Structure 1
Amino acid sequence: MSSPLRLVFLPCLLLFVVLAALFRSSQADVGTAAQYRPPYLPTSCYGSDASQFPSSNLFGSAGEGIWDNGAACGRQYLVRCISAAVPKTCIPGKTIQIKIVDRALSSVSRPSRNDATMVLSTTAFAAIANSSASFVNVEFQQV
């Protein structure tokens, strides 16, 4: 490759890589996640039907920002812990997929934080963060 062509090609390639990374990361949202403990039934989405819960127990309740008048029921989200008040609370590199089964403010077992974007089952919360934390900052994306 000649030098003038290389001078044009390499910066264009670098610009493409940077724009692709920005585009990919812009699809996720950032919020907070709290945890709640059993009892999980009944839920606002599916009542007392125990089959609503995934076998992995990775599920959660939607906070007001994603509740969407009940349309959030059944939605799947990729969730990862990005930070917390206490260092080393997040489990690095761990992303989980959860199913929304309830509305956070109407769940039987109230979340530890009422203004959370989402409230995760104890299993889901422990999969991404130290379970002794009351809430964490998360990145989430609907699947």
Structure 2
Amino acid sequence: MMLFGEERMGATMRVVMMIGMVASLVSIAHAATGTATFYTPPYVPSSCYGYQNNGVMIAAASDTIWNNRKACGKTCTVRCTGPTSQGIPQPCRGSVVVKIVDYCPPGCAGTIDLSKEAFSKIANPDAGKVKIEYNCV
């Protein structure tokens, strides 16, 4: 026998799940495209935070994202969409959320330069560079 409160709670959970699914579709629809590369430790100092440790799910922003330091502290959802070369045909593994902590100067090889740990979440590091969709907030 289901109690009234449990039934209401179940309905609430369904609504929350539906809102979450819609929100993720909206964020994907507004995602920008580019490329991701990676860099290796040490991750400090960084342009945004000096010697403050921000963990390993971090990234350096190219001029496309940097916006005169306004990107510092933003979180970006980055999803691998495919290879940039013929080397590794299926490099993608998924997506990752990273914090922008550094600047990738002009000549940066990617739109976003992920820590090696973050890159490894979305793609095989042997690929070196992959196509991505990203959304920063």
TM-score scaled by structure 2?
0.74
Q: What is the CA–CA distance in structure 1 between the aligned matches of 2:132 and 2:113, rounded to whole Å? A: 11
Provide Cα deviations, 1:104-132, integer angstroms capped at 9, x if missing partner.
129xxxxxx72311000010000010011
Q: Give per-residue Cα distances to partners, 1:40-69, cap 9 Å, x unaligned.
A: 11111011122xx14xx2110001100000
2:46 maps to what in 1? 43
Distance across 2 between alignment mates of 1:74 and 1:118: 14
Report the CA distance between 1:39 and its aligned residue: 1.6
Aligned residue number for residue 65 of structure 2: 66
Aligned to 2:76: 77
Per-residue displacement from partner, 1:47-93 (whole Å, max 9, x unpaired)?
1122xx14xx21100011000000000000111100112311111xx
Structure 2 residue identity aligned to 1:63? S
Give secondary structure in 2 for the equivalent of 1:132.
helix
**After superposition, where does 1:52-131 map in structure 2 within 5 Å?**
53-54=54-55, 57-84=56-83, 85=85, 86-91=88-93, 94-105=94-105, 114-131=108-125
Give CA-to-partner distance per residue, 1:90-109, whole Å, 9 cap, x none. Answer: 11xx2211000000129xxx
Counterparts of 1:83 and 1:96 in 2: how far apart (Å)?
15
Partner of 1:13: none
Q: SS of the residue aligned with 1:77?
A: strand
Q: Percent identity?
A: 37
Code of the aligned partner of 1:101:
V
3-state SS of paired residue (1:100)? strand
Structure 2 gaps, min length 5: 1-21
- What's the TM-score, normalizing by structure 1? 0.71
Following the alignment from structure 1 to structure 2, what is the Cα–Cα distance between the partners of residues 96 and 134? Answer: 16
Q: Structure 1: any 5+ residue segments left out of the alignment?
A: 1-19, 107-112
- Count residues in correspondence: 110
Report the secondary structure of 2:37's partner residue. Answer: strand
Which structure's CA Rg is the greater one?
1
